[in-house]
Amino acid sequence: MKAELTSYNQTPRKVRLVTDMVKGKKVSEAVAALAFLPKRAAEPIQKLILSAAANAKSTGADMETLRVKNITVDSAGMLMRFMPRAMGRSAPIRRRKSRVMVTLSTDAK
């Protein structure tokens, strides 16, 4: 009843805005909420929750009682580039990546 997105190319801070919205909700409610959310991270998070639900279904869990028990967003490193600046200097460009882990449970709240 777990799923993981290992290297998503968006900053963890922006992805957390989406994941905080679906914590504790039923899977059907979370998927419906993410379908209408105008954030770039909404679609990958929706797919991740559906993947975790499919994993739970394969183990025999009841789909109507599944909830998003925990969803965490961590840093998955960054891609460093450099931009030329004045007087021969350079400035770093940090392309941050996210690692998202979802845990579903069949708890009846």
Residue 108 has pLDDT above 60, yes or no: no
Residue 109 has pLDDT above 90, yes or no: no
Instruction: State pLDDT tens for residues 43-99.
Output: 999 999 999 999 999 988 888 899 999 999 999 999 999 999 999 999 999 999 999
Nearest CA-CA partner of 81 in 72, 70, 73, 92: 92
Instruction: State pLDDT tens for residues 2-15.
Output: 999 999 999 999 99
Domain coverage including residue 80 = 2-105
In the prediction, which pLDDT does 22 show? 93
Task: Judge contact between 94 and 10, C-beta under 8 A.
Answer: no
103 contact partners, CB below 8 Å, separation of at least 6: 1, 2, 52, 68, 69, 70, 71
Give the CATH number of the domain where residue 54 resides: 3.90.470.10
Task: Provide the domain count of the chain.
Answer: 1
Quick one: tokens of 30?
């979370």
Q: How far apart are CA 13 and CA 11, in angstroms?
A: 5
* pLDDT mean over 28-53: 94
Residue 23 has pLDDT above 70, yes or no: yes
In the prediction, which pLDDT does 60 show? 86
Q: How far apart are CA 33 and CA 27, in angstroms?
A: 10
